[in-house]
Amino acid sequence: MSDRPTAGLPDQSGRTWVITGANSGLGAEIARAAAAAGADVTLACRNLDKAERVAGRIGASARVAHLDLADLGSVRDFAAGVEPFDVLVNNAGVMALPHRRTADGFEMQMGTNHLGHFALTGLLLPRVRERIVIMSSLAQNWGRIHADDLNWERRRYNRWAAYGDSKLANTVFGRELARRLTQSGSPVRAVLAHPGYTSTGLMGQSETPVDYLMKAGAMLRVGQPAAQGALPALFAATADVPNGSYWGPNRVLRGTPSRARYRAAADDQRVRDRLWSASEELTGVTFDV
């Protein structure tokens, strides 16, 4: 995928991937493509019935394991059963939900999209051999990091602002993880990606007027199918790209993988440090980097 990312992945024979949220949409396409290139894939999912159907279509190289990122107990149970592997793809997510709380009392979007993945990555890091891919979103462009109120306890809740905050947190976390990996001399790389405007099951479920815009976008084919939206993450997972780099569609909303722009906040060390400290405190997970 170095110069023609749509032509297929490099040979993944003998390598193992763990992909969160692989029961549908982008995660399912990432799992399918990795397995088609020869990898063994673990579909780490909350909905086991859907995950089993995806695994059945992939074949013997796919296995399913239960993971609910909105429950740190589930995250720890999953991590305890994982053997050393090559690629972790932090793909699972929720979008624009009504105000809800995780099993641990976190705001659901921050808890699932960022804090769950933060804890998972920290617990699995000693067993990752090569690459961590963190899926962000164009929504990071309207997010803010309120490190002293990640869980919307002092602010009036807004579902779209909460989603943007969680995706900016993904970007900030990925950039800081890459810095710490480099500083510690680790061979593991943390690389970020976003899928542009991709039609998945997340779209049109917010119960707000934005749903109509998303449906219109899908009808007018402004976006792209999930198989195309998965390409930046697949590129980030397999190409020889810099640690901490960010990849998305070359035409922003759709297209083939190219370097993408992210918010300046993701390179503000004060923002990074405050988010990292708050995430450690909330999850109880620290990183060995």
Active site residue: 163, 197, 246, 262, which one? Answer: 163
**Amino acid (one-letter) located at 137:** S
Angstrom distance (rounded) from CA 272 to CA 135: 17
- Beta strands 85-90 and 128-135 are parallel
Q: How many helices (H) and strands (E) does the chain have?
A: 10, 8
**Amino acid (one-letter) located at 132:** I
> Which residues are CB-neighbours of 73 under 8 A, at least 6 positions away?
103
Comparing C-alpha atoms, which of 32, 122, 14, 112 is closest to residue 70? 112
Residues pairing with 40 in the sheet: 16
Based on the residue annotation, tell me whether 262 is a catalytic residue of this protein: no
Angstrom distance (rounded) from CA 232 to CA 277: 29
Name the residues annotated as catalytic.
163
